[in-house]
Structure 1
Amino acid sequence: MPFAGEFPMSELPSSQTSDTGTSADNDATPALRVNHTHAGIRARAAANAERSLDDAGLYFNRELSTLRFHIRVLEQALDESHPLLERLMFLLIFSSNLDEFFEIRVAGLKRQLAYGNEEIGMDGHSTASIFNELSQTAHEQVERQYHILNTRLIPALAEQGIHFLRRHVWNKAQREWVNRYFDDEIMPVISPIGLDPSHPFPRLVNKSLNFIVELEGRDAFGREGGMAIIPAPRSLPRLIRLPRELEREGRQEYVFLSSMIHAHAEELFPGMTVRGCYQFRLTRNADLSVDTEEVSDLATALKSELLARRYGDGVRLEVANNCPTHLSDFLLRQFQLGQEDLYLVDGPVNLSRLMAMIGDSDRFDLRYTPFAPGTPKALRKDESMFSIVGQQDILLLHPWESFGVIENWLAEAARDPAVLAIKQTLYRTGVDSGVVSALVDAARSGKEVTVVIELRARFDEADNIALASRLQEAGANVIYGVMAYKTHAKMLHIVRREEGRIRHYAHMGTGNYHSKTAKLYTDYSLLTARETLCEDVHHVFQQLSGMGEPRHTEHLLHAPFTLHKRLVELIDREAGYARKGHKATLTIKCNSLTEPRLIQALYRASQAGVICQLIIRGTCCLRPGVPGVSDNITVRSIVGRFLEHTRVFHFHNGGKPEVWCSSADFMERNMFQRVETCFPLLDKKIAQRVRKDLDTYMLDNCQSWTLQPDGHYEKRCPGKDEAAISAQETLLYAYAARP
């Protein structure tokens, strides 16, 4: 269902006014019928000359667009081309995404409303109208999510022998085992809290599983029954597989922790009658607030904020749908929430915790076929990485090409006596990271190691503080970046002495130095010894660690200084070619597009006749297909097995194509509030290969969604005589080696 009221239907081409919804069963999106002749371009431009590019009707709302991306993820749970457990995983990812959406985006809107900060965005929507639209859509999609779980996925899993057992179907042996598990594992760590004047409502942790219990009778102290809260122990799994000997033949059988607590609720209140026991979960504001002008020690300030995050203001209350109204109303009052914040759910309130079951399952036939990441031919030689990279640029495309190449290079650098210094940025990385281990080894061996760690990487703050301590203990120089700007750039700089002179090496990427996400996210990694590029990386590191005016860079674009201005210039340059009658095209692939001046530059390019192909995975505030403004712009979103994360920008440039990769999305925060890098692919063969990758994405008709002028997305499907093309599968076969 498209977001209502965002665009007057009278302004749409007649061929695009139908709404076919977002079902995976939709037909292929009709091609836009646009007059691309220069006369037609000039006529449309003239007709729209008086229309300001600040017109609110040319923009989608950021929050609504973000929510629509989460809905596209949910749609994957209905797509039978995915293996069954992967479909369940998509549904659980939707839950996890929605949690963060409420913790950050909805929390921000509620804070604005609470302080009377009623803003009108570039899309013309007020804060209140956006909140109401989000609330309505989120309620509809949560209800739909549980409907998919209960009517599609659980029955399909049961057909495959995977069962989630409710209390009423436990047999005698299973019930006896559950009783023992409760006595041995749950009872010792559970702490029910009766509510009375001496026991006020407890302060519950963000997103924790809890139960509200209605009681009748008198307790040991003569207190009349009323209500109690049971916080589920956070140390226990939410889903427990029964012992093999208790499972029916050919089945995997699981029991929910919530079912065990429900079954034994009266044991927690001896002598009293439990009239009802209902699960609920509170989502709180989890955005950290650190005043960069007042903080003298960022790490210490963040540690304090991390404790506060667990108990921020409530923003959403999820309650079992059989909970009586008077109890849900009581909870809403406790958390100072309104009816619009209440979500009644038909199933577990903490679905994302079920991901552990998928990871532990041995039903590999219901998962994606595993693959072994490939290694470029140049790196298969039995030679030093420095020898290979010293002779040629190497570009990796993760996850189809191995992230282990970078870990191995760092490990080699740590051992190599010729290596003098290593500098690296870390935004997100694993707790058991091979990258960090190599940096620790290098520091302990006496090399000059400098690491710029971004402590404020959202939801990774605690891990990054621990990593910083580990590196400092090893003797590395640890820098927390620049206070007012998050360091989001992905850079590695290695200094080596070779034949009596200093040689520089660098790695730059679009993704984080994280071995686990490198198996799930698509990202480019460039390994180079080009003197000018390495010198640029060196200058950026000097700027991060020292002070002074921005350092000049030969090739590298650098936010917040040169990146935004240069991107606008590159788009405008393409428009200039179009106005002269030359072929003019550009392709932008990134995660989000929200920055107004970049959007306006794309509108100007479209008006000039530039064919603009945008591959925007998530949030997109640009409105395509507006006659005379954006009818040369197409926007598609690829949602599939891997999370699309590459940021790649291609400009035809009058027949001298340029391809850039970046750590930055087309967002205000990336352009002006973060340290980012954008690097050109100077090797022509590598640049051509990336252009071919982009072409593959443009051909996708299996996992591609096309943004329509009215704001909804249509799933592309192969036509009757059209071959099915999945970009991710095509690239997998092209780059990765099958086991």
Structure 2
Amino acid sequence: MVNSLDLNNTAYYNNREVSWLGFNYRVIQEAFDKRNPLLERLRFLAIASSNLDEFFMVRVAGLKDQVKMNFNEPENKTGMTPTEQLIEIDKGNRDNVLKQYDQYHQLLRELEGHQFYFKSMDELSPENYMNIEKKFNYEILPTLTPLGIDAYRPFPKLSNKSLNIFVDVVTPLGEQKSAIVQIPALLNRIITLQNENKTIFVLLEDVITHFINRLFVGYEIKRTFTFRITRNADLTIHEDGAEDLLIEIEKFLKKRKSGAAVRLEIDTRFDETINGSFLQQELELEERDVYKINGPLDLTMLFQLTGIVQNKLPQLAFKPFEPCTPKSLGKSNIYEAALKKDLFFHHPYESFTPIVDFIKEASMDPNTLAIKQTLYRVSSDSPIIEALKNAAEAGKQVTVLVELKARFDEENNVHWAKMLEEAGCHVIYGMTHLKTHSKITLVVKKIGEEIVPYVHLGTGNYNDKTAKIYTDMGIITTNREIGHDAMNFFNYLSGYSEKPTYNKLHVAPFEIRDEFIEHIDQEIECHKQNGNGLIIAKMNSLTDKTVIKKLFEASQAGVKVNLIIRGICCLKPGIPGVSENIRVISIVGRFLEHSRIYYFYHNGEEKMYLSSADMMTRNMIKRVEILFPILDESIVQELKDFLQLQLSDNQKAREQDQYGVYHYVRNDAEPVNSQEELVRRANAVERSYTKPVEVKHVPQMSKRSRLLGFVKDKLIKK
């Protein structure tokens, strides 16, 4: 039976782009879930809009480029051509956007029940109208520039994602002209007014539209409407032959602002007859690229709205949650504790502060010889950057790999790279044609006569802001083999050498996928002999066809495969004879699921890994990623308990059926919201990490210690 089925059958796979649209719909669903507080439901609508912008700028833009270049090859899983994918995206996304805006209007009606109202200019009281008019004259009008369109003034190059007002005017001689007024991005989109016990909101574009005649004195305004353009942001970075990648990135950032248009959105709240044909023609867009929307464009403005309302009515948002001190750390100093055992961290339930302190303390300790770290995305005011600068200025050897090609963080990372170099850090930018997505820090200390490497490995970025809303995991270890691997890893990235042979780590490109295939094959063999095969994998996305086919083989052999995949999943589960032993769930809730966990039962000889990589071709073939083993049995057990908790979720989990459609998990078991349960558990532990950062000189270690292999200035592998 197994050999008679063609695992290349396109019916067994989901298209990547269509699967992503399904994920964004699950985000929109959270806005419908009345168990979420009102402001959080509005935030989910904003998140969906932010997600969709990036999807158009990268994924849709890439498909449109293929069509323009007459590349019409079908993709290798579902066999859809670029044109067919664009048609399916159009169909699925229009349905998503319609649901999103229907719910937006519903949630605004609910907000009115709390005395918060959106108003048009015509609905304002005389007093509020006068206040808005004054604000327009003195604060808004000076920032506006009308851009006429004629033979002497060609169609302007409008910024990506900017809001604009299109204006049709009639001259005193009766001639019709058109112009565009760009809405200043630095002004607050939402203007707030107080009217007794009511809070009134007016949108900036509505104010400008109302007073637009003051920009065209002597002309008659015939028609106005607000529109927004999304541009291609997935341009090519020319790495080959580049003398300095930082300079190439800066050139790339300038080009990105003027990429080809890929989407036109038109606000039809005040005129449903608008077709935008002139704009469509000027921007060289097809009809399917134009979205007419009954509502304000760019719902990311709801982030501003919810912040305003939450300041007045915090009960309309999630109850504030303060991460607890990591259980593995307790009240111990992080460096002392790491000498005794591996330390495990689970953010945001456990505080990210110890990871920041791990770098801070190393930067201040005179026993620290070197700090080496990879940075992919960091916050705009990162305390980790400050600690690295301080370490370099104190004379320590500091090597930082700053990934300049981290999409949409390029400008931020260029800034940090320059700042770190100025402080004396040795900054490297990664490898040609590969993004370094690994999350690793190596701190080398001299303790007595021994050299001790401390290694932090994680699934998420060194970003203290996103660590509060992304679920990620990591360890700090002084295992000498992992320490040796970390040294080799950084030396390989910073110098010239063949790819090293690692003791414990598995490093992409290629090696991680090979490791997955080997473990799946081993699980199949174990199941044939013992009948207890089990694989559990948690990740953001699953797209790699080689891995998917191997999981199909495992299912056909009888291995139980449980997949927890937040976003894209190109595998269809539950197909008789192909994937009936595979279950796929997606959890979308208060926090963004971001950790990657891979577990293989192996007849009781369990293997547990964490990784920076998803089972995506780009991660395993086109990036530098790390898959690292969990060697401490207590941490393995904690991870197993966590995986079982998520697999038991029947509140925020959706399960994919054999047709690729997701349905809420509903059963007779006790209600389980895995994220809220983890919040509850965290609240039961000590609630804050208040211990100040202080330099503690770790006492000289015994010759019997587990780090006996680190002697003097050289790591000796037993």
Same fold (TM over 0.5): yes
**Match for residue 164 of structure 1?**
118
Is residue 2:420 matched to residue 1:420? no
**1:92-117 deviation line (CA, Å, top 9, x unaligned):** 11111111111101111111111110
* More moved, 728-737 vs 205-214: 728-737
1:188 is paired with a residue whose SS is: helix
Per the alignment, residue 682 of structure 2 pairs with 735
Aligned to 1:305: 252
User: How many Å separate the matches in 1 of 2:523 and 2:132?
Assistant: 68
Decide which of 206, 212, 219 is 2:166's aligned counterpart.
212
For the residues of structure 2 that align with 1:610 and 1:414, how far apart are their CA atoms?
48
* Match of residue 637, structure 1, among 586, 594, 609: 586
Conserved in 2, the CA contact under 8 Å of 1:239 and 1:354? no
Q: Which amino acid aligns with 1:580?
A: Q
Matched, 1:129 2:71: no
Q: Aligned to 2:625, what secondary structure does the other structure show? A: strand
Tell me which residue corresponds to 1:37.
none
Structure 1 unaligned residues grouped into runs of 5+: 1-45
Q: What secondary structure sits across from 1:253 in the alignment?
A: strand
Q: Provide Cα deviations, 1:146-172, integer angstroms capped at 9, x if missing partner.
A: 11111x111011112221122221000
- TM normalised by structure 1 equals 0.91
Task: Tell me how many residue pairs correspond in the alignment.
Answer: 682
Mapped to 1, the partners of 2:181 and 2:630 lie a distance apart of: 57
Kindly indicate whether residue 290 of structure 2 is the aligned counterpart of residue 339 of structure 1.
no
- Whether the 8 Å contact between 1:702 and 1:718 is mirrored in structure 2 is no
More relative contact order in 1 or in 2 (CA 8 Å, sep 6+)? 1
Counterpart of 1:367 in structure 2 is 317
Tell me which amino acid in the other structure corresponds to 2:296.
Answer: P
Once the two structures are TM-superposed, the CA of residue 247 in structure 1 deviates from its matched residue by 2.3
User: Residue type matched to 1:241 in 2?
Assistant: T
Query: CA 1:223–1:478 in structure 2 vs 1: closer, same or farther (change >3 Å)?
Result: farther
- For the residue of structure 2 that corresponds to 1:580, the secondary structure is helix
2:179 alignment partner AA:
A
- Aligned equivalents of 2:161 and 2:472: distance in 1? 31
The one-letter code matched in structure 2 to 1:146 is Y
For the pair 1:291 / 2:238, whether they are aligned, the reply is yes
Equivalents in 1 of 2:361, 2:633: separation in Å? 28
Task: Give 1:324 deviation, angstroms.
Answer: 6.8
Aligned to 2:703: none
Give the 3-state SS of the residue equivalent to 2:318 in structure 1. Answer: coil
Secondary structure of residue in 1 paired with 2:276: helix
What does the per-residue CA deviation read over 1:357-403, in whole Å, with 9 as the maximum and x for residues that have no partner? 2234312111111111111345332x532111111111010000000
Amino acid corresponding to residue 352 of structure 2 in structure 1: F
> Is the counterpart of residue 320 in structure 1 residue 267 in structure 2?
yes
Alpha carbons of structure 1 residues 493 and 195: separation in structure 2 relative to 1, 3 Å: same
- In the TM superposition, what is the alpha-carbon distance from 1:717 to its structure 2 partner? 2.8
Q: Percent identity?
A: 39
Q: Which residue in the other structure is 1:703 paired with?
A: 652
1:228 matched to 2:183: no
Displacement of 1:589 after TM fit? Answer: 0.2
- Deviation of 1:501 (Å): 1.4
Structure 2: runs of 5 or more not aligned = 689-718
Aligned mates of 1:480, 1:723 — CA distance in 2: 50
1:647 aligns with 2:602: no
Measured in 2, the distance between the counterparts of 1:211 and 1:327 equals 14
The structural deviation recorded for 1:718 is: 4.4
Deviations 1:200-230 (A, max 9, x none): 1111000100011111232xxx793411111
The match for 1:265 is 212
Deviation, structure 1 residue 354: 2.8
Q: Residues of 2 paired with 1:360 and 1:149: CA distance?
A: 17
Question: Following the alignment from structure 1 to structure 2, what is the Cα–Cα distance between the partners of residues 289 and 610?
Answer: 42
User: Which of 520, 534, 539 lines up with 2:483 in the alignment?
Assistant: 534
Q: Where does residue 712 of structure 2 map in the other structure? A: none
Aligned match of 1:471: 420
- 2:326 corresponds to which of 376, 396, 404: 376
1:349 Cα offset (Å):
1.1
The equivalent residue for 2:441 is 492
The one-letter amino acid of 2:87's match is N
Question: 1:295: how far off?
Answer: 2.1
Distance 1:99 1:59 in 2: 25
Q: Give the alignment partner of residue 336 of structure 2, picking from 387, 394, 401.
A: 387
Where does 1:468-617 land on structure 2 (aligned, <5 Å)?
468-617=417-566
Task: Determine if contact 1:288/1:306 at 8 Å carries over to the other structure.
Answer: no
Q: Distance in 2 between matches of 1:468 and 1:347?
A: 41
Question: Is 1:68 matched with 2:68?
Answer: no
CA distance in 1 between counterparts of 2:22 and 2:609 reads 28
CA contact (8 A) 2:239 2:248 kept: no
How far, CA to CA, are the matches of 1:543 and 1:618 in structure 2?
33
C-alpha separation in 1, matches of 2:478 and 2:154: 64
Q: In the TM superposition, what whole-angstrom CA distance separates every residue of 1:490-545 from its partner, at most 9, and x where no partner exists?
A: 00000000011111100000000001110000000101111111111111111111
The whole-number CA distance in structure 1 between the counterparts of 2:230 and 2:601 is 47
Q: Is the 8 A contact 2:540 2:614 kept in 1?
A: yes
C-alpha separation between the residues in 1 aligned to 2:87 and 2:329? 54
Report Cα offsets for 1:172-210 as digits up to 9, x if no partner.
010000001101111111001122211111110001000
Q: Residue deviations 1:458-515, cap 9 Å, x none?
A: 0000000000011001000000010111000000000000011111100000000001
In 1, the alpha carbon distance for the partners of 2:104 and 2:326 equals 41
Look up the match of 1:24.
none
* Distance in structure 1 (CA, Å) of the matches to 2:557 and 2:349: 38
Q: Which runs of 4+ in 1 moved over 3 A?
A: 222-225, 322-327, 736-739
Tell me, yes or no, if the aligned pair for 1:584 and 1:611 is still in contact at 8 Å. Answer: yes
Structure 1 counterpart SS, 2:361: helix
Distance, in Å, in 2 between the alignment partners of 1:692 and 1:404 is: 24
- Deviation string, structure 1 residues 279-312 (Cα, Å, up to 9, x no partner): 0001110113112213221111111111111111
SS of 1:296's equivalent in the other structure is coil
Structure 2 CA distance, aligned partners of 1:103 and 1:428? 19
| Residue 188 (structure 2) aligns with | 237
Asked if 2 retains the 8 angstrom alpha-carbon contact of 1:225 and 1:272, the reply is: no
TM-score w.r.t. the length of structure 2 is 0.93
In 1, Cα distance between the equivalents of 2:491 and 2:84?
46
Contact between 1:238 and 1:354, CA under 8 Å: does it hold in 2?
A: no
Match of 1:51 in 2: 5
